[in-house]
Amino acid sequence: MKKESGRLKGFKRFLREEEGMGTVEIILIIVVLIGLVIIFKTQLRSLVETVFDKITKDSRTVMS
């Protein structure tokens, strides 16, 4: 009987534990971010190209 009560206590402790929640939350955040990147891929690509073009033009003026 004592082993069963110990198992029951261990099971109750397992149900109250929340250590695994952090991993699930991080995975969900990563999935959402990947989804946003897929949805806005063309806009992000044009934004990055614009930024790199500006950096290239500005670096040419500094080097001159």
pLDDT above 50 for 2: no
In angstroms, the CA 7 to CA 18 distance is 19
Residue 17 is predicted with a pLDDT of 72
Q: Is the pLDDT of residue 1 over 50?
A: no
What is the tens place of the pLDDT at every residue in 10-48? 777 777 776 666 778 889 999 999 999 999 999 999 999
The DSSP code sequence of 3-64 is: HHHHHHHHHHHHHH--TTHHHHHHHHHHHHHHHHHHHTHHHHHHHHHHHHHHHHHHHHHHH-
The more confidently predicted of residues 6 and 34 is 34
pLDDT score of 38: 95
